[in-house]
Amino acid sequence: MYKTETFLRVRYSETDQMQYVYYGNYSAYYEVGRVEALRQLGLTYKELEAMGIMMPVLENHSEYIFPALYDDLLRIEVTITEKPSVRITFLCEIFNEAGRLIHRGRTLLAFVNQKTGRPCRPPQAFQNVLAPYF
> How much of the chain exceeds pLDDT 90, in percent?
98
Mean pLDDT, to the nearest integer, of 51-62? 97
Give per-residue burial for 10-43: e unless 16+ CB within 10 Å, then b. beeebbeeeebbeeebbeebbbbbbebbbeebeb
Is this structure's pTM higher than 0.85? yes
**pLDDT reported for residue 73:** 98
Domains of the chain: 2-133 (3.10.129.10)
Give per-residue burial for 48-58: e unless 16+ CB within 10 Å, then b. beeeebebeee
**pLDDT reported for residue 18:** 87
User: Does residue 103 surpass a pLDDT of 90?
Assistant: yes
**pLDDT reported for residue 64:** 96
Residue-wise pLDDT for 68-92, tens only, equals 999 999 999 999 999 999 999 999 9
**pLDDT reported for residue 84:** 96
> Alpha-carbon distance 80 to 59, whole Å?
15
